[in-house]
Amino acid sequence: MTLRNILIHPDPRLNKSATPVALVDDDLRRLADDMLETMYHAPGIGLAAPQVAVMSRVLVMDCEKEEDATPDPMVLINPAVVWESEERSVYEEGCLSIPEQYAEVERPAEVEVEWLGLDGKTRRERFDGLWATCVQHEIDHLDGKLFIDYLKPLKRQMITRKMQKLKREKARA
């Protein structure tokens, strides 16, 4: 397994739609392993392939928050929301591509998602709580959308400027 470099906003690749996966092969399994390792290392609870510069519709997540809980890594290939609740919930979201910035985002409280597993089989599951927020946040990444796109323009611009500054500092370091 290899740690992959996480792209930091603003980066044009984070605003592009990713391509559906046609074949679950060894390359894809390797990518999923690397993404999980990169996510746990960061640490984060979700990561989408475009965040590591791979423009494929793949995401990984593990929202098990209890410290001594067994890890519950999930790999979702070509995920799609097939149902969403009318009930909404608000979570303070963050993103590994927008480090140390958090903001409240409102989304459907529950969603049902269909995806392809690493075994090539179709799965369907209903998510609620943090899992629901996380899976919607990550699917957004596959459509080139970031959580700051839900914020008012002024707040969004403020965060983007902070990230530009962070990137300049990193480039100099």
- State the number of binding residues for Zn ion (CB under 5 A): 1
The least CB distance from residue 96 to Zn ion, in Å, is 6
Kindly report whether the peptide bond that precedes residue 108 is cis, defined as omega within 30 degrees of 0. no
Q: Are 165 and 158 in contact (CB under 8 A)?
A: no
From candidates 95, 139, 142, 159, binder to Zn ion by CB under 5 A: 95
Stretch that binds Zn ion, among 3-11, 58-66, 92-100, 123-131 (CB under 5 A): 92-100
Q: Is 159 in the site for Zn ion (CB under 5 A)?
A: no
Residue 172 neighbours by CB under 8 Å, 6+ apart: none
Q: Are 53 and 12 in contact (CB under 8 A)?
A: no
The CA distance from 87 to 152, in Å, is 22
169 is known as an active-site residue:
no
Question: Could you tell me how many residues make up the chain?
Answer: 173
Q: Fill in the per-residue mask, 97 to 136: x = in contact with Zn ion (CB under 5 A), - = not in contact.
A: ----------------------------------------
The set of catalytic residues is: 138
